[in-house]
Chain A
Amino acid sequence: MGLVLDLKNVTKKYPGVDALKDFSLSLDRGKIVGLLGPNGSGKTTLMKLIMGFIKPQKGEITVLDGVPNPMIREKIAYVSELDVLYPWMTVREILDFTSNFYRDWEKGKESELLQLLAIEQDKKIGTFSYGMRTRVRVMLALCRKPELVLLDDPFSGIDLVSRAKVQDALLKTYHYKEQSIVLATHIIDEAEPLFDEIVFIEKGQINLQGKADDLREKYSKNITDIYKEVFK
C-alpha cells in the first residue's frame, strides 16, 4: 500500500505565527482522511505545503513518494478554500480549460457530475451563488482520477443542498482502494460517515489521530462530539 503522505518534523512559521510546529503525519494510501480543526489551526498551511506552494523552514515532506513540485500536481487534485475560478468563464469553458492540463481527466465523467451536482454548464461562473461555485470547484477535482485529492474546507459557507450534493458526488466518484482523499473542515456533521481516519489539529500540532470508528468506539461519541471535547 505505502504512504500517500509523509511529513516529518515540519515547521512552517509566518511572521508572528507558527502555522505548523514540529508537525509529523503519515497517511496510508486509499483512505479518506478528515483533517479537523478550527480556523487558523494550520489546515490550509498543510495543504499548501503538500502542493508545494510554500516551503517549510524545517522538516521533510514526501507526497506520493516524491517531493512537492509543480509536476507532482498532475497526480493531485487540489480544491482551494478560496473562490478561485474565473468569473468570466462559463462552466463549459472552465472544464475545457482545465482538462487540457491533465492526462487523468475523464471526459465521460463530466455529464455525470454535471447532473449529480446540478450544474448548468452554459452559465457563467460569475452568475453563481457561492455554494454553486464551490460545486464547480469540487467538480474540477472529481472529473479526474488523481491519486490524491486535497479538499480545503469545501463545506464552509455553503448551503445545505450544495453540501449534500458535494458529499454525494465525492462518494460516488471515489475510486475505492486506489484514491486517497484529505478533506479539511471545521464543520463535520453529516460528513462524518465519509471518513476512515481522523486527524485533529490545533495550533499547528496534532491533537488526536485515529480511525474514525475506533475513536467512536473508544469515546462512545460521534466525531462531532469528540471534536467539541478536544477543542473545548
Chain B
Amino acid sequence: MEIKIDISSGAIYLQIMDRIKRAIVRGDWKTGEQVMSVRDMAIKIGVNPNTVARAYAELEREGMLVSKRGMGTFVTEDAKKIEEEKEKLAAQYAERFGKEIKEIGISVNVMTKLLNKIVKENE
C-alpha cells in the first residue's frame, strides 16, 4: 500500500489515519491482518515514528486497529465496524463533492449524469 504524505496539507497523523482507513475499507488491509510496526511504517513513509504511533493510537481508539500485547497491531476483525467506516467515508466524500459542485452552480440532474459517467468509465 502506498501512503503518500502531503506536507502542505494539515496534520500528518490525520493524513496517515485517513490513508490507513481507506486501505482497510478498500480491503487492501484485510481484517485481522497484522499491520506494519510503528518503526517500519515510519521509515516506509518517511515520517517521525511518534507521529505514526499517534495515528495508530487514534485508530485504535476509533476501533479500526486492535493492539495485542506483545504481538503487535492488527486490523480489527469487526466487519460491521469496517462497513460503518466505509459508509462514513463515503458520506464524507459525497458531501465534499456535493458542496464543491454546488459552488460552481451545477444542477442535481447534471451532477447525477456526471456521476454515472464517471462510474461507467471506471468500471
Contact = CB atoms under 8 A, between A and B. Distances in A.
- The answer to whether A and B touch in the complex, with CB atoms under 8 Å apart, is yes
Interface of A: 30-32, 167-168, 171-172, 174, 176-177, 190, 192-196, 212-214, 216-217, 220, 222-224
A213 B8 contact: no
Contacts of A222: 7-9
B5 A193 contact: yes
Nearest to B37: A176
18 contacts: A30-B50, A32-B48, A171-B43, A176-B38, A193-B12, A194-B48, A196-B50, A196-B51, A212-B12, A213-B11, A213-B14, A213-B51, A216-B12, A217-B10, A220-B10, A222-B8, A223-B7, A224-B7
Given A176-B49, A193-B51, A171 B11 contact: no
* A-side interface mostly: helix
A192 B14 CA distance: 15
Nearest to A188: B7
B13 interface: yes
B47 A216 contact: no
Nearest to B52: A176
Given A192-B7, A196-B51, A213 B46 contact: no
B54 interface: yes
Interface string B1-38: 00001011111111000000000000000000000001
Nearest to A195: B48
* B-side interface mostly: helix
B46 A171 contact: yes
Contacts of A213: 11-14, 51, 54
Given A193-B46, A220-B10, 6 more contacts: A32-B48, A176-B39, A193-B51, A216-B11, A216-B12, A224-B7
Query: How many B residues touch the partner, as a band?
Result: 20 to 34
A105 B82 CA distance: 46
B89 interface: no
A193 B7 contact: yes
Contacts of A217: 10-11, 14
A26 B51 CA distance: 20
Interface string B38-62: 1100110111111100100000000
Contacts of A30: 50
Nearest to A168: B46
A52 B118 CA distance: 64
A177 B47 CA distance: 14
Contacts of B9: 222
Contacts of B47: 171, 193-194
B54 to A, nearest CB: 7
A187 B122 CA distance: 42
B6 to A, nearest CB: 9
A18 B54 CA distance: 38
